[in-house]
Structure 1
Amino acid sequence: MQRNLNKLANTTYDLLIVGGGITGACAAWDASLRGLSVALVDKVDFGSATSAASGKIIHGGLRYMQYGALHRARESLHERMVFQKIAPHFVHPIPFLIPTYGHLLKGKEILTLGMTLYDLLGLDKNNSKAPEKTIPRHRVLSRNKVLELFPDIDRVGITGGILYYDCQMHNPERLTLSFLLTANNAGADLVNYVKVKEFHKKDNRVTGVKAEDTITGEKFDIQARVVLNASGPWMHSLLRPLKRVEPRVNLQFSKGIHIITRSLTKNCALALATKHSHAGALVNRGGRHFFIIPWRNHSLIGTTNVPFEGRPDDKMVTERDILGLLQEINAAYPAASLKRQDVAFFYGGLYPDDIKRSVGDAYQGARKDQIVDHSTNEGIDGLISALSVKYTTARKLAQRTINLVFRKLGYKPPECLTEKTPIHGGKIERFNDFLFAETERNASRLKKDITRNLIYNYGTAYAKVLGHADKNPGWCETIHAQLPIINAQVIHAVRDEMAQKLTDVVFRRTGLGTVGDPGEAALQTCAYTMAGELGWDAQKIQRELMEVREVFSPSP
C-alpha cells in the first residue's frame, strides 16, 4: 500500500470516500470487491480517531435488549459472527460476568429471561469450524460461584450472576487497517494525511473535492462520480462549506474515555453498575455498566459517557476525566483501589449520541446507523453521508451504503461479498491450530511470544513482515525487552502500510504504545528506524518524538 497522489489527481473515480475509520474502510472494501473504482483519503492517519477509541469489543448488542430493539440485537449478533469468520486472528470470544443483587429488575430473574431471549436471537452465532470460536450460551451462576471468581466484589445483597460471552478485538487499529489493506488489494487507492478543503460542484452536483497533502502542502483535485462523507465527528464541518446544505444527519456526540491499568481480572471481564442510568430503557436495571476487561496482561476499563460540546480536533482526555473515572471505579469496586499511578495509558473518542438525550447525565447512546442521500432534501446530488453508531455494524452499514452508491450511479447493486470474504491475513480456518503450527515452525528462529504476537496482528500475512528480517537479521530483535514487538514491524509499517509519522507506528501499526509509555529507548529505536526509511533529519526526529510524548499526557 503506497501513497500515490499523482494517481489520485489524475483519475476520475466511481467513488471517493472521505474518512478512513472503520466506516470508510468497510465501504472502500465493499465497493472495491463489487468492481467500483475507489479512492479514500483521511486528513490524518487511518483509524486514528473514533475507531481507535472503542472498548475493543465486537459485541452482540446486549444493551439493545433493554430498549426492546430486538432487530438491532439480532443484527449485532449476526455481525459478530461475521467478524469472527472474516477476521479470525483479530476477534476472539471472551466471557463477561454480571453480578446480580436482590431480585426483580436487579436480580437474576429478569436478567435470565433477557439472556435466554438474547441466546435465541443468536442461534447462528456459531457458524465456524473452529472450536475456539464457539460462543457458549449464558450461564446462571450461584452466589458462591460468583464470589469464587471475584472474591473482592461487593457481597451485600449479591444473589449470584450471569456469565455470557462476547468477542474482543486484539488490536482494533490494525483491524481497521486490515480492511483498508484488503480494499487496496482489490484495487482501491488509499492515502492518509490528505485533507479535503472543499467540494467541487457543477450545477447541483458534487463532482469531487479540492484536497491538500498535509505532509508536503501540495494541493490537488480529486474527481469522483459519487462522494461518500464518512468522516464521523467531522461530518458537519465537512458539509458546512456547501452553504445550501442543511444536513439531515442528526449529530450529537458523547465523549467516552477508557483507561489501561494494572491487571484486575484474569480470564473473565467484569461488568459493574454505575450511578448513571440508561435513559429511555424499557427495562432499567438501575445503572449503566462499565467493564473491567482483561487485555494484553492489563485491564481495560471504561467507558464514560458525557455530552460533548467542544471541537472534534480537541484533545479528548483531561486529567479530570481520568480522576473521575478512577473515583467511579473505586466506588463500584473498592477492592480495585486504583490510584493515578496505576493508569498506564488512556484514550478517548466521540460516539454518536441520541439526539433526544434527556436533560442531565443519563446515558442514551445512539442506536441507529445513518445514511443520508443529500439529493433528497438538500438538492445536492453525488453526495452521501454515512455514520455508524458502533464498530460491530460498520460492515453492514457499508453494504447498505454501497447499494445506494450503485443506485446513484445508475446500476443495479451486485451481490455484496464482504460477509464471506476474509480480510487481509484472515484466511484461517482453525485459528488455534494455525497459531500452534506456525509457532512451532518458527521456534528455532523466534521466541514463541514474538510469533504469537505477529500472528495475532497480521494473521497469515505475518510471513511478509518476517520477509524484511531475511534481509537484515537484526530486524528480528525486539524493540522493548518486555514487549514481543520486533524492528521488522516498523520497517513493514513504513514500506507496506503507509506509516508516515512515529505516532502511526507506535499506536496504530505495532501497538508499542497502547499499553503505556514504552520508554525513551524504544521510542528512539522506532524513530531512528523510520528516519532511515523516510529521510528524516535530527530536527524532524525530535518533532516526531515530541508528538508521541504528547499522546501520553492528558490535558490539564
Structure 2
Amino acid sequence: MGYEVPAIPHRREPDPRIAAKPLHQRRGPRGHASGACANTEDDRIGSSRAGDHAGGARCRGRRGERSDRQIQQGEQIVRTRDETVRSIADRTVDLLVIGGGIIGAGIARDAALRGLSVALVEQADFASGTTSRPTRLIHGGLRYLELFDFGLVRSDMREREILLRIAPHLVFPLPFLLPLYRPSLVYQFKLRLGMQLYDWLSLDKSLPKRKYLDRAETLAAEPNLKPDGLTGAWRFYDAQVPLVERLVVENVVDAAAHGALVLNHARATGYTREGDRVTGATIRDAVAGSDVTIRARYTVNATGPWLDGTISLLHPGTKPLLRLTKGIHLVTPRATEQAHVLFAESDGRLFFVVPWMDETIVGTTDTDYRGDPADAAPTEEDVRYLQAAAHRAFPNAPFDEILFTWAGVRALVREEGVSESEVSRKHALYDHEKRDGITGVLSVVGGKITAYRAIAEEVTNAAVGKLRSSASECRTADLPLPGAAENGDATDLARIVAADGALAAPVCPNEKVSGAELVYAVRHEWAMTLGDVLLRRTMLGLRPCQGLDCIDRVADVVGAEIGWDADRRAAEIAAYRREIEPMRRFSVE
C-alpha cells in the first residue's frame, strides 16, 4: 500500500494440518509481561461486565459448523492461497469485504462467526495502511468532551472494556498523567469537570478511577517533567494496543478459522453488476498476476482513506465522502516513565507522549491532506512542531534522537467549514441504494481503532438485514481473539522446529524472534513479503534497527520457505528498504 511490491511468485504449499494460531506472545507496556497487569493499588484491574452491545439478527447457525472450543483447541484450517482462489471461483459468498485494515478485518470476523460465507480482500497487506500508523491507544478521547460528543465517548469507553476482555494479550491498561502548570481557576474547574465526566461515562469500567496528584506526587511519578510552575496532575486510565498490527491479523485468523476466504495483495479493480445491483468485484491477484472475479450477494467497502477512489469505480463522479487529515508520530528512545496528555503551546492542540515497548511515541498532528494516502509522510514542519511541544514539558528528554517516524491519513466524514481538529471522529454508513440507486453494496466512512468491533457489528447487522439472512447474533463482544488462549502457538512452532532444528535460533541479535516464527507467519498468517513479516507479523521492523540488522537472515529463512531465487531475494530486500525509507528520513543514525 505504501510501496511497490515486486511480482510475487507462488510459495510452497504449507501443511494444512498445522493449525493457524497467532505468533508468539508479545510484550506489553514496559513492566508488564504479555497480558499481565501489576496488581498494585493503582493498577488493580477487575473483571468487566459483558453487556451493553447491540445484538444482531438471530437465527440458526450453519449446519455442521465446528464449535468455538474446537477452533480454540487448534483444529483450525488455513487454506493455501491457491485453494482460496479456487474456492472463490467456485462459489458465491454472502459477503465480500474490500479492505483489510482493522475495520474490514473486524467485519470479516463478525460475519464469519455468525455463519455467513465471507471473502476478505486487501490491496496490499493486512494492517498496512492507516491502521498501522496510529498513537496505538484504545481510549474514549478526552478531546471529544471538548466537542460535547458524550455519546462517542461513552461508546468508546464501552468498547475499551470489551477489548480489554477479549484481547488481554494485546490491549493493556495504561495510566496517564495530565500535568497542570499554574492553571487558572476556570481551567482547573474545566479539567475537574472533564475528569469527572470521563469517569461517569464509564461507570462499568474495570480500570481505576481518576486521582489528583499534588506537585510532589506528580514529580515522584514522573521525575522527567519540567518542575517550574508545576502544581500537580490528574491521573486517569485508558488502554494501549502496542502491536495493533497483531490485532488485525488475529481478527483475520479468526475469520478464516470460521470459514472466511482471505486474500491479501489482491486489489479490487472494479465491480461486477447486473443492472443496478452489485454482484461482486474483480480482483487483481498480485501473487498469481491474474484477475479473479468474486461473486457476492452483498459487498462492503472498508477501504479507509482510499474509499473515495473505491467508490469512483462504482459510481464515477460521486461527491467525495471523506475529509482526509494527516497525523504523524515520532519514535524516540525512552523519554518518560508515564504516559502523558499535553497541550501544544503554539495552538493548544492535545497530543500524547506515550511509553511504547522500550521506546516513546510522540504524537499526533492533525493537518488536512490531499493526495494518495500511500504517499503521506512527515514533513520538517510536522517533526519540529512535535519536538517543540514535547520539549516544553520535558526539556531534557531525547526527542531530538528520532529512531523513526510514521504518518497516517485519517478518513473522516466530510464536513465543511470546520478546522481539522473539530471534524467529528464518528463514522457513517453510506447506503448506495438510498444515495445512488445501486443495491448490493455498502460503504463505511470514517471510524477508529477503539470502535472497530462496534462498527463491524453495525455493518454486519446491516448486511444481515439486506441479505434477509438467518444469521446468528453477534458474538464478538464475548469471544476472545485466538491469541488470548493459553499456550498460543507453542505446539505449532514446536512442529516447525522439529522439522528443522536450525529454526529454533533467534534471527535477530537484538530480539528473541526465532526462524520458526518467520516460517509460521508465511504458512499461517498470509505473509508474502519481507515487509509483511518484519512490520506486520513479527514486528521486528518496529524495533530501533527496523530489522536492518537481521535482514539477510530473515530473507534467507523467508525466501527458503516461499522459494525465492537470488534475484527475488535481492528484490525483496530492496523493496523493504524502500518501504521503510520514509520512516527513516529524520532518523538519527
TM-score by length of 1: 0.86
Give the C-alpha shift of residue 100 in structure 1.
Answer: 1.4
Correspondence for 2:322: 251
Give the C-alpha shift of residue 537 in structure 1.
Answer: 1.1
Higher relative contact order (CA 8 A, sep 6+): 2
Report the CA distance shift for 1:138/1:530 in structure 2 as closer, same or farther (over 3 A): same
**2:344 is aligned with 1:274:** yes
Q: Distance in 2 between matches of 1:142 and 1:19?
A: 47
Correspondence for 1:34: 114
The AA in structure 2 aligned to 1:200 is T
Q: Distance in 2 between matches of 1:152 and 1:125?
A: 30
**2:184 is aligned with 1:101:** no
Q: Which secondary structure state, in structure 2, belongs to the residue aligned with residue 31 of structure 1?
A: helix
**2:226 is aligned with 1:146:** no
Q: Distance in 2 between matches of 1:143 and 1:358?
A: 41
More displaced stretch, 405-414 vs 218-227: 405-414
Correspondence for 2:534: 506
Correspondence for 2:377: 316
Report the CA distance shift for 1:352/1:33 in structure 2 as closer, same or farther (over 3 A): same
Q: Distance in 2 between matches of 1:41 and 1:61?
A: 31
Correspondence for 1:176: 248
The AA in structure 1 aligned to 2:291 is K
Q: Which secondary structure state, in structure 2, belongs to the residue aligned with residue 478 of structure 1?
A: coil
Give the C-alpha shift of residue 107 in structure 1.
Answer: 4.1
**2:276 is aligned with 1:204:** yes
Give the C-alpha shift of residue 549 in structure 1.
Answer: 1.5
Q: Distance in 2 between matches of 1:508 and 1:38?
A: 23
Please tell me whether the aligned partners of residues 254 and 308 of structure 1 are also in contact (alpha carbons under 8 angstroms): yes
The AA in structure 1 aligned to 2:176 is F
Q: Which secondary structure state, in structure 2, belongs to the residue aligned with residue 119 of structure 1?
A: helix
CA distances 1:466-510 after superposition (whole Å, capped 9, x unpaired): 432232232221122221211111010011111100000010000
Correspondence for 2:438: 380
**2:359 is aligned with 1:298:** yes
Q: Which secondary structure state, in structure 1, belongs to the residue aligned with residue 340 of structure 2?
A: strand
Report the CA distance shift for 1:530/1:59 in structure 2 as closer, same or farther (over 3 A): same
CA distances 1:396-449 after superposition (whole Å, capped 9, x unpaired): 011111111011112366411111011112246xxxxxxxxxxxxxxxxxxxxx
**2:432 is aligned with 1:404:** no
Report the CA distance shift for 1:246/1:261 in structure 2 as closer, same or farther (over 3 A): same
**2:416 is aligned with 1:344:** no
Please tell me whether the aligned partners of residues 42 and 195 of structure 1 are also in contact (alpha carbons under 8 angstroms): yes
More displaced stretch, 462-471 vs 38-47: 462-471
Correspondence for 1:234: 306
CA distances 1:227-265 after superposition (whole Å, capped 9, x unpaired): 100001111111112336625x73011111112111001
Q: Which secondary structure state, in structure 2, belongs to the residue aligned with residue 46 of structure 1?
A: coil
Please tell me whether the aligned partners of residues 93 and 166 of structure 1 are also in contact (alpha carbons under 8 angstroms): yes
Q: Which secondary structure state, in structure 2, belongs to the residue aligned with residue 196 of structure 1?
A: strand
CA distances 1:257-303 after superposition (whole Å, capped 9, x unpaired): 1121110013x2122211465xxxxxxxxx22221111111111111
Match of 2:262 among 172, 175, 190: 190
Q: Distance in 2 between matches of 1:357 and 1:463?
A: 54
Give the C-alpha shift of residue 347 in structure 1.
Answer: 1.3
Report the CA distance shift for 1:317/1:72 in structure 2 as closer, same or farther (over 3 A): same
Please tell me whether the aligned partners of residues 353 and 364 of structure 1 are also in contact (alpha carbons under 8 angstroms): no
Please tell me whether the aligned partners of residues 97 and 120 of structure 2 are also in contact (alpha carbons under 8 angstroms): yes
Q: Distance in 2 between matches of 1:176 and 1:183?
A: 11
Could you list the runs of 5+ residues in structure 2 that have no partner in the other structure? 1-77
More displaced stretch, 504-513 vs 517-526: 517-526
Give the C-alpha shift of residue 377 in structure 1.
Answer: 1.6
The AA in structure 2 aligned to 1:212 is R
Please tell me whether the aligned partners of residues 253 and 353 of structure 1 are also in contact (alpha carbons under 8 angstroms): yes
Q: Distance in 1 between matches of 2:298 and 2:198?
A: 39
More displaced stretch, 198-207 vs 346-355: 346-355
Q: Distance in 1 between matches of 2:95 and 2:346?
A: 42
Match of 1:546 among 571, 574, 587: 574
Matches within 5 A, 1:433-444: none
Give the C-alpha shift of residue 346 in structure 1.
Answer: 1.6
Q: Distance in 1 between matches of 2:405 and 2:251?
A: 25
Report the CA distance shift for 1:396/1:511 in structure 2 as closer, same or farther (over 3 A): same
Q: Distance in 1 between matches of 2:224 and 2:119?
A: 52
Q: Distance in 1 between matches of 2:181 and 2:136?
A: 27
More displaced stretch, 14-23 vs 65-74: 65-74
Give the C-alpha shift of residue 5 in structure 1.
Answer: 1.5
The AA in structure 1 aligned to 2:203 is L
Give the C-alpha shift of residue 157 in structure 1.
Answer: 3.3
CA distances 1:340-380 after superposition (whole Å, capped 9, x unpaired): xx2112211111346336566x6224321111110002000
Q: Which secondary structure state, in structure 2, belongs to the residue aligned with residue 309 of structure 1?
A: coil
Correspondence for 2:55: none
The AA in structure 1 aligned to 2:519 is I
Report the CA distance shift for 1:518/1:51 in structure 2 as closer, same or farther (over 3 A): closer
Number of equivalences: 504
Correspondence for 1:280: none
CA RMSD of aligned residues (A): 2.1
Match of 1:478 among 480, 494, 506: 506
Q: Distance in 2 between matches of 1:506 and 1:69?
A: 38
Correspondence for 2:8: none
The AA in structure 1 aligned to 2:489 is A
Correspondence for 2:333: 262
Q: Which secondary structure state, in structure 2, belongs to the residue aligned with residue 335 of structure 1?
A: coil
Percent identity over paired residues: 34
**2:191 is aligned with 1:111:** yes
More displaced stretch, 2-11 vs 146-155: 146-155
Correspondence for 1:536: 564
